[in-house]
Amino acid sequence: MADVLAFNTDYKRSLLDSLELFKGVLPDDIQDLLQNCDRRDLATGDRLLTPRAKNEYVFIVLSGSLNVHIGSTRTPVLATIEAGACVGEMSIIEDRDPSAFVVAAEDSHLLVIHRTVLWDMINASHEFAKNLLVVLSERVRSHNRVIAEGYGELRKFAIHASTDALTGLGNRHSMQESFPRAIARCEIDDRPIALIMIDVDNFKDFNDKFGHIAGDRALTAVAHVLRTQFRPCDSLIRYGGDEFAVLLPGLDKEQASAVADRVRQLVTGNTGDGSDSLIQVPVRISMGVAQLSMGIAQLGEQGTLDSLIRAADAALYRAKRAGRDNISD
């Protein structure tokens, strides 16, 4: 740092004030310590810090800039360290290896402070110590923001992973989580629980005749009617293709069959009524109803759900063999 110290006091003060760690620090307080600092030059793309490689320095960018990457230098840039800012202080304070890759975004010139000199500067200048606290506080806020944003992205992914994009209903992934919980609660409370499997009749023929856009609109219309007809405690999902499933806690097979017949009639009366040119004929559905029996209650959550689905599927098959637009239990 002899080249820095060769300038007059005013210039040194101005130069130091441009660096976040030295803002407001009196040159005389740290002049001898600056003599123990080094300078390092980086070419574009040079690595400065690497995870799992011990770091004993704080680096202050005198000119140029550095990019921060998490996981790999090929990942998107998480942050950019501009001139005047520092990097490396967290690994020294925490006494841990760096958590990210730091790479020169362009040709850069750095002031290098060894950890022992850093602690001496903290002891020599209250302003320096305060500036370091400010930097650490900003790092913590930045990390918290990244964590919050990451959590938000994970939440979006979880929602998308458990929601059917066409109808907005839950999908089979969500069923694997929510249905066993509802079944277990009913078993504990000794309450009945029923499952209805729903299939749109002749849907392949509908698609072939009217096209896939009309088919999608028909499924959306069916989903809308179904959504309005079941209780908040019921779990309605799109099972796949033209099939839906709904779990009804507290209802036995006879009660669920009565609900299914009412819903079947409403679907026919509320789809294909001419208000939407893409749905030119009423859509009809067949439904199979099954009830949890104590004989399968000891199979475990997944075994119980699988048995219920098989029983409801068998009932649905019987409804279709009986002529469709029908219900079977």
Region of 2 (left: φ > 0; alpha: ψ -120 to 50; beta: rest) is alpha
Cα 21 to Cα 16, 24, 48, 66, 98: the distances in Å are: 8, 9, 19, 17, 19
What values do phi and psi take at 280, rounded to 5? -90, -15
d(Cα 248, Cα 227) in Å, to the nearest integer?
Answer: 13
- Interhelix angle 301-321/172-189, rounded to 10 degrees, is 110
Sign of CA dihedral 316, 321, 327, 329: negative
- Which position has the higher pLDDT, 68 or 208? 68
d(Cα 148, Cα 146) in Å, to the nearest integer?
Answer: 5
Give per-residue pLDDT as tens, 181-201: 898 888 888 889 999 999 999
Q: Which fold, 2-154?
A: Jelly Rolls (2.60.120)
Q: Is-contact 109 62, C-beta < 8 A?
A: yes
Q: Is-contact 221 213, C-beta < 8 A?
A: no
Helix (H, G, I), strand (E, B) or coil at 193: strand
Q: What is the pTM of this model?
A: 0.53
Helix (H, G, I), strand (E, B) or coil at 59: strand
Give per-residue pLDDT as tens, 271-325: 665 555 455 567 889 999 999 865 444 444 445 788 889 999 999 999 999 888 8
Q: Which residues of 152-183 are buried (b: 16+ CB within 10 A; e: fewer)?
A: eeeeeeeeeebbbeebebbbeebbeeebbebb
- Distance, CA of 145 to chain centre: 14
Q: Which residues contact 293 (CB under 8 A, 6 or more apart)?
A: none
Domain edges within the chain: 2-154, 172-328
d(Cα 62, Cα 315) in Å, to the nearest integer?
Answer: 75
Strands 66-69 and 101-104: antiparallel
Domain boundaries 172-328, CATH class: alpha beta
On the 0-12 / 13-18 / 19+ scale of CB atoms within 10 A, 187 is middle
Give per-residue pLDDT as tens, 86-121: 999 988 888 888 988 999 999 999 999 999 999 999
Split at pLDDT 50, 70, 90, the class of 84 is very high
